[in-house]
């Protein structure tokens, strides 16, 4: 199976994928502290979790990831998944790994899976529509950072 739970030995690849994704989206300043990320993902009180995708023809090669945390919908009274980051390295795209990652997430909850998408990403919008995912009308995301 090309999708598996990340292990602590994947931390360098996970951080590299996040940094690559940031550069892909035009943010060249993201540089993650591997020790901090290890604590948040694999410490005694993990705050998030990651699924990694490996192409079947290249076992052991991390081609992409889904970076997630649990959420809860009070209106549905169901736990769900917040997908913070979905990224497949360009050389591994269009091989079904994104679909595999999202299918693996769908199998983990009967609740909803939610994520943000940058405006203007028409290819991603088309991909998500093929899965049956829809934009959430009438809602605007707010962010209150500790730096504010």
Q: Which residues on adjacent β-strands are paired with residue 53? A: 3, 64
| Number of Cβ within a 10 Å radius of residue 100 | 20
CA distance linking residue 132 with residue 52, whole number of Å? 22
State pLDDT tens for residues 37-55. 999 999 999 999 999 999 9
CA dihedral 24, 18, 82, 120 (to 10 degrees): 0
Record the pTM: 0.90
Question: What are φ and ψ of residue 14, in 5° steps?
Answer: -60, -50
Per-residue pLDDT tens digits for 13-34: 999 999 999 999 899 999 999 9
Cβ distance 21 to 71 under 8 Å? Answer: no
From the options 3.40.630.30, 3.30.70.1140, 3.50.50.60, 1.10.10.10, give the CATH code of 3-131. 3.40.630.30
pLDDT tens, position by position, 92-133:
998 899 999 999 999 999 999 999 988 888 888 888 988 888
**What are the tokens at 55?**
């192409």
């Amino acid at each position: 199976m090309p999708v598996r739970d990340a292990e602590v030995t994947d931390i360098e690849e996970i951080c590299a994928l996040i940094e690559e994704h940031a550069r892909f989206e035009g943010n060249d300043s993201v540089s993650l502290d591997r020790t901090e990320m290890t604590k948040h993902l694999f410490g005694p009180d993990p705050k998030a979790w990651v699924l990694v995708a490996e192409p079947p023809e290249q076992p052991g090669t991390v081609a992409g990831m889904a970076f997630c945390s649990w959420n809860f919908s009070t209106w549905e009274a169901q736990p769900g998944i917040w997908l913070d980051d979905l990224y497949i390295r360009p050389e591994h795209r269009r091989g079904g790994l994104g679909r595999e990652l999202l299918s693996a997430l769908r199998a983990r909850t009967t609740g909803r899976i939610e994520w943000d998408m940058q405006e203007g990403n028409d290819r991603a919008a088309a991909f998500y529509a093929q899965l049956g995912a829809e934009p959430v009308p009438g809602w605007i995301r707010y962010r209150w950072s500790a730096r504010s």
